[in-house]
Every structure is written in structure tokens, then in C-alpha cells.
A and B are shown apart, each in its own frame.
Chain A
Amino acid sequence: MFEIVKRQEMAQGSVVLNEINAPLIAKKAKPGQFVILRGHEKGERIPLTMADTDPEKGTITIIYQVVGKTTALFKTLKEGDRYLDIIGPLGKPTDIEKVDGDVVCVGGGTGVAVLHPITRAFKQAGNHVIAIIGARTKDLLILEDKMKAASHELHVCTDDGSYGHHGFVTDVLKELLNSKNVKLVVAIGPVPMMKFVCNITKEHNVKTLVSLNPIMVDGTGMCGCCRVTVGGKTKFACVDGPEFDGHQVDFDELTQRLRSYLEQEKQSYELFKTKLNA
């Protein structure tokens, strides 16, 4: 179990796709749900929202950005290698419904990977779906073709103008909110992006779903590590989420909690890089 059947590097090797043999999870998983993975006997448990599943083949797909020791170690796994542990599907699936108006799906960075199956599901549910994806620069953009196929209309943005619209996803979103009958926005990406999207959609009073990625340990509601404040109440992202009404989320608290182990993460990554180079 948990054998990598397909591996692909994206965004100049900073992002990696793994299709993994996990039949039980593949059978059950729905868009929006996540898994927890562990790579080795002394490894930590990290949550990743699934980018795709194939119940017939019995595989799940994860797409992750290399940001620290654990993801750097995952990157060393080749096709045929195995993850030690994968637990899932966890969290609540996205509430996919037919909306009375346009659905806009906004993705930034590796958030696009998570957004893709959700975008596809909204289209399959009969919605008119407009997608906006962005990255810092052209080479870091992922899944453009897939997002094109999953939506009716795709807008691409790069911060440096190397491709598509020169600017942020929020610029395009603002235009769409003014010109179209947008009834639902789904925003998945870095916390600042989701926060800005929510600030804008709040002004237009358009419901906005965000998928949160706090630090987790067990992923089953047992530890409370992933608590987030939503509408003034504490929620556990692992069981109450990971998706929430973005207008209710305390993004500043989430940002601070995501930085809880910054020093240790750096220390661990540096040690690993030294070992890799040796």
C-alpha cells in the first residue's frame, strides 16, 4: 500500500505530484477532503488536501510544494517507493450544489491543486464556472490545462506579468464581481490571498468558501492543534472543515498559528539539507 505509481515535478521542481496507491481512501474520498501522510519511522504527520482520486485504479493524487524537511524528504521518493502511512479521507467534503448564478474559483500557488477537483465538481453540478489562477511568475504556474478543462472560462495572472494578466488574482476577481452575476466564490491558496479575496467579496456580499491549512497532528478532532476562529467560535479545521465561510474566518490568528514552529522547521530543514549534501 501507499506506493507511488506516478511522480511528476512541476513549477521548476518546487512542486511535486504523486499519484499513490491507496484504494480504501480513493473509494471514499470526495473533493475538498484531505489525507495525513508520514514518510518515515521518525517522521511527522502532515495534512495535504487531495488533488484528485481514481476509485477504479485505487489511487489518490497529492500535489505539494517543497517548503521544509518533510516535503523535501517526500520529494526524494521515486515511483515505486512507498509512503509509510496515509490516513484518510479526513475532513468534510466540499458542499457541491447548483448555484443560482456564476461560481468563481480562485486559486493561488499550490492551492490550485486543491481547487481543481472542486472546480470540476461545480461544473459537473451544472454551474457556470469561472476560474482564476495565479502564481508569482509563469514558471511557477501549475495545472493551467486542467483548470481550463474544469471550468468554462479561465483567467491566468502572474505577479510579475510574465504570463496572462499582470497582477493579482484579486484584480480579475474585482472585475468579475462588477460585470457578472457571481453568487459563490471558492478561494484556495496562501492565507494572504484568501484573506484579500474575502475582503473584496465581503464588500459585494458574495458567499466565499476557503480551504484552510493549519498545523495538524491526528486529523480526527483529537488534539485541537488545528483550531481556528470562525465567526467568533473555535472550530477544528480537521473535523469541522477544512472549508469554512471565509467571511467568518480570523485569518490573522491562522497566520500566527501557522508560524508556531518557524524556528524548529528551519532547524530541521537545514539539518536535512546538510545531510542530503553530505
Chain B
Amino acid sequence: MAKKETLPRTPMPEQKPEVRKRNFDEVPLGYTPEMAMKEASRCLQCKKPSCVEGCPVQVDIPGFIRYIKEGDFAKAIRKIWEKNSLPAICGRVCPQEMQCEGHCILGKKGQPIAIGNLERFAADYEREHGTGELPPKAPPTGKKVAIIGSGPSGLTVAGDLILKGHEVTVFEAFHKGGGVLVYGIPEFRLPKDIVAAELKNLERLGVKFVYNCVVGKTITIDELFEQGYDAVFIGVGAGLPRFLNIPGENLVGIYSANEYLTRANLMKAYLFPEYDTPIARGKNVVVIGAGNVAMDAARTAMRLGAESVKIVYRRSREEMPARKAEIHHAEEEGIEFHLLTNPIEFLGDENGKVRGMRCIKMELGEPDESGRRRPVPIEGSEFEMECDLVVIAVGASANPVLTKATEGLELNKRGYIVADPETGKTKKKGIWAGGDIVTGQATVILAAGAGRKASNSIHKYLTWGW
């Protein structure tokens, strides 16, 4: 035992900051089989593994790590698949430090097992070297399920229910599947080929995808039931960008993070003019907000050739909601952090283009309802900051397109769907919901976790009628 603990955590090779900050290739390069086996050998194989408790979908972590240690990568990935249909994605974008790795016993004295890196390795190895053998499917039940939205929660439900023998169709508003995985998370954090491969796997299992279909506009949920669907899962995400509501916010050169990232990621505007969608390339870029989306936007702006990229955040470093690893990566790439700073007005030139913003310095006061200390403006501390591009990344609210068009769904006062946290059941018969449209903006794995709970409940409903 003591010998194992002395082995340090195997670092994952990465592109060097000065190189990667100007390209869109993935930053971490992945483990070799040797690295993975070495890292796996550090696992204590706890009898009561607390890492599993920290996982929203309860992957048998020691189980798959043991297979990696033994070099049986095919079995490792199949062990993960039992609980998680999207390991190549979760291995990359889960906040492991707060979940599995945060619970790892090794982390108490030293560094926890690199569970995320190992999960990613198992999935990548299977994609690149695997047999392509699909998991076994139950015989057809004759039941039809419609899934609205092809993001993490929808894909999880699709993957679960197709294996249980149900007919599954996913309806997606965009022309491409993956939801936030394709429009939101940048290529350098989650290569789109990987998302495409996960979708391809689901298609091979028999999941049907209908693109360009805005449920609530092109077709309604009631019409889906009329067409013979037995159950509907809503996983449409939050999808309504928040703005600051300060003067000058509609100046040219001010984007919501959703727009900026959708242009860059889904529409591949970083490859303009090879791709037709344009995107503004700023020299002096400001990103408002300090969550993961803000880091993604800031790092995208750097890759689009910015001379300076600033994160402007009204609270302090401690309250920044982004993952530590993302903040670290951003800092390495030269992103500046202007904390305890709040924009109060955007300034434009004679053509209506943003040229700067007026800010005010903040200090932290008493804790607010979120438990974080409330930022309070410091009187007389106003100053101007130059910028020619602004991305507003202060979160998203509930998009009403689907919920408004669906009678009988109960919504909370902020417009999110009310669903049972254990089953995902909504107040309308035959409809389940999960992910950001229930919880508000959260993470990929929490959405996948909600999808898992809903798929269990849907399966019961389709089998026994409750």
C-alpha cells in the first residue's frame, strides 16, 4: 500500500500554452496505454469506493480502473458503458475535482487518481482501436419514445432506452446533433469528431435523429403523442442568453457567449472564409463573467488572434464559478483577470461599434442568497477600459419556445420545468424532463445524470404503466 502512494499522479501531456493559444486543436493530448496503466496502478481499489458516490451516474470506477491496470481496455470501456453512455465526453468536461476525484482517498494526503483522464483514455482507445462491438440490445418492446434535444441529457436517455428495446427518435432544432457539446464547448476542449462518433454509435444502435425540428414550432409535443409516441423526454437546455441590461449593450461587437461560441463552434467561423459564417476578431477583447463558458469564450478569442483578452468579473477569484483547470489553462494562455470589476456602460464610436466600457470597482459585502459575499460598488471608482469586442457570459435562462407551446407543463417562476428530481417526471402525463431546462444552467454530467434517472423511470412506465 505504502509503495503505491509514493507513485505520483501521471500528468497528461498537453500542447504548450504559447503554441495552443493560437490553434483550435485539443489542449490535453491523452494518455498512452503505458501512462494509463501506470496511473491505474495507483488506485487503492477501495472496498467502499467513495469516488463512485461522487459520480452523478455511479460509474464503477475501481472496476474500470482495474481493467485498465490489467491492460484489458475493451473490458474497461464496457464497464464504464454500464453507467455512462458518453465517456469520451465526460472524461474531458466533467468537473472531476468536485466529483469522483474530489472524493478519492488518495487526495487526502496526495493527489487523487486521474479518473477523468483514465475514463477519457478508455473511450479514446475503444474509438481508435476497438472492435466496434455494440452493447447487447433487449428485444423490441414496440414502444416509441421521443427525445427533444440532442444534448447530454437527451443522448443519455436515447442510449439507455434503445438498449432496453424501445424505439427512440431524437428531435434536434439545429442542423447538427450534440446540443451544447457542439455549439457551446470549443473544439480545443472537446473535439467535434468525438461528439460525432458518440452520435454515430447511437445511430448504429438504432436511434433515429430528426434535425432542423424545433419542437414547439415545427411540431408540438401533443402532435408527437398523436403520432404514436408513448413517452417524451424534454432535454432542451436553458438556451436563453442573459444580458447585463446596461446602456450600449446592443453596440456592434457585443456578443452573448451563446452567439460567439455558436458562431465559432457549430458554424466553424474560425475557419472563415472557408466556412461562410463570419465572426468578429477583436484585438482587445473583454469577456464578462467567470464561469466555464466565460473561459471558453476568452480562450476562443485568444485563438482568433486577440492581442489582449480580459476576464471581467464582479466578485473575487474565490467566487469564480469556472473549474480550476479551466482557469489555469486560461491563465497559461495569457488571459488577464480583472476581478471585483463591474461594467456599467458600453461606449461606442460614431458607427455604433463598441470601443470601450465604463466600469466600477467592487468590494465584497455580506453573503447573498447564493451564500457568496455580495459585491458592492465602490463609490467614485469608475474608470474606462478599452475594448473592441465584448462577450457577455453571465449565464442563461429558460428558453420559452417549447414550454410556451406545451399546455399542462408546470413551470417554476423562472420558467424552468418542474420535474421530480428522482424520476424526471413532469406534471403532464407521459412527459419527462431533465438537464438545464429543469435545474438551470449546470454541467454536462449533471444533465447526463438527470437523463439516467429519467430513462429508468420512462422504462418502468413503458413496461408497467407507472
Contacts and interface: CB of A to CB of B under 8 A. Distances in A.
Interface of A: 24-25, 28, 38, 42-45, 69-70, 84-90, 217-218, 220-225, 227-229, 234, 239, 252-253, 256-257, 259-261, 264-265, 267-268, 271
29 contacts: A24-B218, A24-B219, A38-B175, A42-B268, A44-B278, A45-B267, A70-B276, A85-B175, A88-B214, A217-B263, A218-B173, A221-B399, A221-B400, A222-B239, A223-B256, A224-B258, A227-B243, A234-B250, A253-B250, A256-B252, A259-B252, A259-B351, A261-B280, A264-B272, A264-B278, A265-B278, A267-B273, A268-B276, A271-B273
B252 A42 contact: no
Interface string B347-371: 0000111000000000000000000
B32 interface: no
Contact of A223 (B241, B251, B274): B241
Nearest to A1: B212
B259 interface: yes
Contact of B401 (A24, A25, A43, A220): A220
Q: Which of B241, B251, B253, B277 has the most CB of A within 10 A?
A: B277
A239 B262 contact: no
A222 B175 contact: no
B466 interface: no
A84 B212 CA distance: 10
Contacts of B268: 42
Contacts of A222: 239-241, 258, 262, 399
Contacts of A228: 250
A84 B255 CA distance: 27
Contacts of B263: 217
Nearest to A85: B175
B211 interface: yes
Nearest to B274: A42
Contacts of A225: 255-256, 259
A260 B280 contact: yes
A24 B211 CA distance: 12
A2 B253 CA distance: 34
Interface string B206-237: 00000111100111000000000000000000
Contact of A217 (B253, B267, B273): B267
Q: Which of A265, A267, A268 has the most CB of B within 10 A?
A: A268
Given A217-B267, A256-B351, A87 B274 contact: no
B352 A256 contact: yes
Given A90-B217, A257-B252, A264 B273 contact: yes
Contacts of A252: 352
Contacts of B351: 256, 259
Contacts of B353: 256
Contact of B259 (A24, A84, A223, A271): A223
Contacts of B249: 234
A43 B241 CA distance: 24
A86 B401 contact: no
A42 B280 CA distance: 18
B174 interface: yes
Contacts of B217: 28, 88-90, 220
B352 A253 contact: yes
B275 interface: yes
Contacts of A268: 272-273, 276, 278
A218 B174 contact: yes
Contacts of A223: 241, 256, 258-259, 262
A90 to B, nearest CB: 6
Interface string B261-288: 0110001100111111110100000000
A86 B276 contact: no
A233 B174 CA distance: 28
A88 B262 contact: no
Contacts of A257: 250, 252, 352
A84 B175 contact: yes
A43 B269 CA distance: 10
B173 A220 contact: yes
A252 B271 CA distance: 31
B414 to A, nearest CB: 15
A90 B400 CA distance: 13
A130 B328 CA distance: 65
Contacts of B250: 227-229, 234, 253, 257
Contacts of A87: 173, 175, 212-214, 218
Contacts of A267: 273
B243 A224 contact: yes
B182 to A, nearest CB: 12
Given A45-B267, A234-B249, A257-B250, 11 more contacts: A43-B275, A44-B277, A45-B277, A84-B175, A90-B217, A217-B267, A220-B401, A222-B239, A222-B240, A259-B252, A264-B278
Given A217-B267, A223-B241, A89 B278 contact: no
Contacts of B214: 87-88, 90, 220
A88 B263 CA distance: 20
B252 A44 contact: no
Contacts of B253: 260
Contacts of A234: 243, 245, 249-250
A25 B213 CA distance: 9
B60 to A, nearest CB: 37
A42 B259 contact: no
B212 A260 contact: no
Contacts of B275: 42-44
Contacts of B173: 87, 218, 220
A42 B256 contact: no
A41 B384 CA distance: 42
A25 B259 CA distance: 25
A221 B216 CA distance: 13
A196 B21 CA distance: 48
A223 B277 CA distance: 14
Q: Which of A28, A45, A222 has the most CB of B within 10 A?
A: A222
Nearest to B220: A28
A25 B218 CA distance: 6
A252 B217 CA distance: 31
B221 to A, nearest CB: 14
Contacts of B175: 38, 45, 84-85, 87
Nearest to B278: A264
Contacts of B218: 24-25, 28, 87-89
A13 B214 CA distance: 33
B259 A44 contact: no
A257 B348 CA distance: 12
Q: Would you list the 6 A-B pairs with minimal beta carbon distance, nearest first?
A: A256-B352, A264-B278, A223-B259, A44-B276, A85-B175, A44-B277
A87 B218 CA distance: 8
Nearest to B348: A256
